[in-house]
Amino acid sequence: MSDDAVIEKEKKSKKSVERQEKIDTISDTRDSELSVNESQLVTFFLDKIEFSIDINKVKEIVRMPDIVKIPNAPAFIEGIANLRGTVLPILNTRVRFGLKRGELTDQTRILVIDINGSLTGLIVDSVKEVLRIDNSLVEPAPPAVKDVNSEFLKGVIKLNQGKRLILTIDVEKACMTQITKNAKSDVVKETAAAVSSQKRIEEHIEEELLVTFKLENEEFAFSIDNVNEIIRVPEITMVPSAPRYVRGVISLRNEILPIVDLRTFLDIKMREYNDSTRIMVVDILESKIGLVVDKVSEVLKINKKSIEAPPVILSKQEQRQLRGLAKLNEGKRLIMLFDSDGLFEQGEIAKMEELTKTKGNVKTTDNLRRAADIANDMDIEQLVGFRLSNEEFGVPIIQVQEINRLESITKVPNAPSFIEGVSNLRGNVIPVICLRKRFSMPEKENDDKTRLIIVDIKGNKTGLIVDSVSEVLRMPKKNIENTPNVILSSVDAEFMAGIGKLDNGKRMVILLNLQKLLSDTETKELAQVAKKDKAAKN
């Protein structure tokens, strides 16, 4: 190729890129002077076929972002992406329209479509131009178009005496955003029922969840049922005539709470608050009290059998305040369990409640309002994060009973394909699900990172095989978005409880609803697997 030809090619390429960059700012170019008989369209190509979408449906046009794959999603759903902190479902438009998949190039773009406030991204080969047309040029879409699924077409535009054909798209149908209110209500009801069922299950198991914390070098805990939330220490407003252990009051979501310094209350030497200091908001005798602790350690699941009665050597007051002593690691780790209703006497609670009601004691200052905002930001969801292939998933830590290395698994004849077999968990036979198989992902050899997460699915203790367990995630609840409608409308996506966003949306975690992981029929099959294996061994 001659130098002149190379230069000409570079000029054309540069012009093409410049044209694309101009189109990329499409959201700022809408024409308000269109006549009632005109429309403005964004035109683009899919497999050399020209399509168009009404410009009013196009919020913006962006380059290809990083995409997180969704397990078991329909073939036309490419996954989800981060759009400046918003979870954006991405559709492969070629597949949606019945065309063969294409290679991604420098010209590939995402059309961000806005339908009634719901955003969806459409992958297109390239964007051509913004075109103004007379509505009389739009003809009804033919019943069949070669190689194209005509279900999502609204019409066809003929230009240049029919030499240029542009297919117009019905984006509402293509994006599947029309989920009825009843359908949404059913999803909410089913989710609420699943949560209620999970709570009933947890009430009957011989284990208890504790929130553990430190005071000096000693470890204490409250039952998680009594802990409302954990917040950083905001500005505390002192009040006159308060007991010595009451530091003051704070405003938390328009509610005034008394703050008790547990060190002072328990006659432990005072120390300055630091970055680790926290306030635990605890239910005590039907009142909410904020308790200042040195550090919150973890949410811990223990067997109730490991809890012993308080030592008889303690005073009557100490025995009233403690409901037991948990011995872990063969007695090397001791945790003192507070009895939330026995920690304070009724008269002490009455005095603290009086402090929050006395007029003139509390001023709703800007600092207090900022403190309430800080507390709101500390609404945290704790998740166990794990990986399958390149994607990251999470389940609420409260639903995880334990995490083990993968031991020997016994195959079970005629079991459903996603059931890897059964495993012996301290004398109990539990079915084991391979999540890769459940989500139709390529199989992978187990290795040193492979883990078995023990969970409860509709009353059945079940093991989930995952590639690796990454960490315990602390995620602000405000960073969890509902699953996008276009994905939720797929039956196979019911197992998704939402999308969690970390690192300003750059890292996305698929949250699982374990109660939707299996259908009712599959759950029955799962229960039968363990029963059959147990019967066979007997």
CA distance 92 to 76: 5
Contact partners, residue 519, CB within 8 Å, separation at least 6? none
Largest CA distance in the chain: 100
- CATH classification of 16-175 is 3.30.1130.10, yes or no? no
pLDDT at 380: 77
User: What does the angle CA 48 – CA 50 – CA 56 come to, to the nearest 5 degrees?
Assistant: 145
Listing from the earlier edge strand, what are the strands of the sheet with 118-124? 58-63, 109-115, 118-124, 86-92, 77-83
Alpha helices in 267-408 (DSSP H): 316-321, 346-357, 366-377
Task: Tokens 């117009």: give the residue.
Answer: 168
| Among the listed residues 95, 74, 67, the one whose alpha carbon sits nearest the alpha carbon of residue 440 | 74
Task: Tokens 């409250």: give the residue.
Answer: 222
How is the chain split into domains, by residue range?
16-175, 207-377, 380-537
Q: pLDDT (tens digit, 0 to 9) for every residue of the chain, 538 residues total?
A: 555 655 565 655 555 554 444 444 454 445 445 566 788 889 999 988 999 998 888 989 999 988 988 887 888 888 898 888 788 899 999 998 888 888 899 999 999 998 888 889 999 999 988 888 888 888 887 776 666 777 788 888 888 888 888 888 888 888 864 443 344 444 444 444 444 544 444 444 477 888 899 998 889 999 888 888 888 888 888 887 788 899 989 888 778 899 999 999 988 888 889 888 999 999 988 889 999 999 988 878 888 888 888 776 666 677 778 888 888 887 788 899 999 888 998 889 888 888 877 544 444 344 444 444 444 444 678 888 899 988 999 998 878 888 888 878 888 777 777 888 888 877 778 889 999 988 888 888 888 889 999 888 877 788 999 999 887 788 888 889 888 877 766 656 778 888 999 887 788 999 998 888 887 777 777 777 666 655 555 5
pTM over 0.75: no
Q: What is the dihedral of CA 144, 149, 154, 160, to 10 degrees?
A: -70
CA distance 361 to 359: 6
Determine whether 522 is exposed, middle or buried from the number of CB atoms within 10 Å of its CB (0-12, 13-18, 19+): middle
What architecture is the 207-377 domain classified under in CATH?
Beta Barrel (2.40)
Tokens coding 153: 């077409």
pLDDT at 242: 85
CA distance 382 to 392: 15
- Topology alike, domains 16-175 and 207-377: yes
CA distance 174 to 299: 44
The residues pairing with 298 across neighbouring beta strands, listed in sequence order, are 212
| Among the listed residues 249, 218, 205, the one whose alpha carbon sits nearest the alpha carbon of residue 367 | 249
pLDDT at 533: 57
Tokens coding 233: 């220490």
Residue 489 to residues 73, 169, 183, 207: CA-CA distances in angstroms? 10, 20, 9, 37
* Residues, the chain: 538
Tokens coding 143: 């019943």
| Among the listed residues 302, 533, 300, the one whose alpha carbon sits nearest the alpha carbon of residue 432 | 533
User: What does the angle CA 323 – CA 326 – CA 331 come to, to the nearest 5 degrees?
Assistant: 145
Q: 482: which DSSP letter?
A: P
Kindly report the CATH number that applies to the domain delimited by 380-537: 2.40.50.180
Q: 346: which DSSP letter?
A: H
| Among the listed residues 416, 401, 179, the one whose alpha carbon sits nearest the alpha carbon of residue 301 | 401
Tokens coding 43: 């035109």
